[in-house]
Amino acid sequence: MSYAFVAGYALLAVAFGLLPVLYSVYLAFTSGSGGFAGAANFTKVFDDFRFLPAVGHVASYLVIWLAGLVVLVTVLAIAVHAVRVRWLSRALRLVFYLPGAVAGASSVLLWLFVLDPTASPAAGLLRLFGFTSFNQVIAPANLPPIFAVIAFWTGAGGWIVIMYGALNNISPEVIEAARIDGAGPVQIAWRIQLPLLRKWISYMGIMSLAAGTQLFVEPQLLSQASNAIVPNDYSLNQLAYLYAFQQNDFNAAAAISLLLLVIALALSAVFVTRGGLFSRD
């Protein structure tokens, strides 16, 4: 019976996960005519003047996004968990979770309005930072923190709820014993809750890293909304899209996708080893 439960997932994982990866490997190492191309597609991508800037853009975004996510989500989850008024705790979790219910493209469209100093409800704050026009706000140098804020707004709530559930699994006896020994809220969070959340933080980092490397919707919509002030090759996924659907070069696009996969797997391995994700307590 257990095999029947996992059979559907296994079939979908093979059809939409494993087979596309294998096909990408095939495309990345072959030419348009189907012959073996070796590393030619990767060399073409590396030599493209757009490649390194795209790598830098995605890397900057990931550093800000992951650092902010890990720190703020953990702190907010512990703070919400410390609220003893049940209705208030539920209300806070709902407020944090609601932005995640907005689809990615819709969320970006909402932020197009928020980032426009002439119409934004936060116009005073934008002007305080010296921004008087939408084009100034979305200058390419400002995009990594902007994309990180958008990603945090849409994705952090779900992780706060997950971390809250993980905190509920910590034995109340352990927390009570720490209080009896004189530990305050900060010491309990630092000495007990954070170590016991390490695996969940690692899992959050892996999943968020996988999503972050796929940066596409946000810069693509901003590019269209800004009349190309944001370039349409800002991220690696956008560059792969251009290769595939404008230059009809699916082999180079597959090479970029494999590079993203290798980078994501390597960074995920760091989270797994440092977070002890598969270690036994």
Domain ranges for the chain: 50-248+260-275
Any residues with CB less than 8 A from the CB of 178 and at least 6 apart, and which?
Answer: 187, 188, 191, 192
pLDDT of 241 higher than 90? yes
pLDDT at 248: 92
Return d(Cα 257, Cα 214) in angstroms, integer: 9
By CB atoms closer than 10 A (0-12, 13-18, 19+), residue 4 is exposed
Return d(Cα 209, Cα 268) in angstroms, integer: 7
| Orientation of helix 143-168 relative to helix 217-225, angle to 10° | 150
pLDDT in tens, 92-106: 888 888 777 765 667
Determine the CATH number of domain 50-248+260-275. 1.10.3720.10
pLDDT of 214 higher than 80? yes
pLDDT band at 156 (very low <50, low <70, confident <90, very high): confident
Q: List, in sequence order, every residue forming a beta bridge with 30; answer none if it has no partner.
A: 36
Pair 242, 232: CB distance under 8 Å = yes
pLDDT of 280 higher than 70? no
pLDDT at 103: 59
Pair 157, 96: CB distance under 8 Å = yes
What CA–CA distances, in Å, run from 167 to 2, 15, 75, 77, 188? 29, 36, 12, 8, 12
Return d(Cα 60, Cα 196) in angstroms, integer: 29
The answer to which of 100-114, 128-142, 183-197, 214-228 has the lowest mean pLDDT is: 100-114
One-letter amino acid for residue 91 of the chain:
A
By CB atoms closer than 10 A (0-12, 13-18, 19+), residue 102 is middle
Pair 30, 37: CB distance under 8 Å = yes
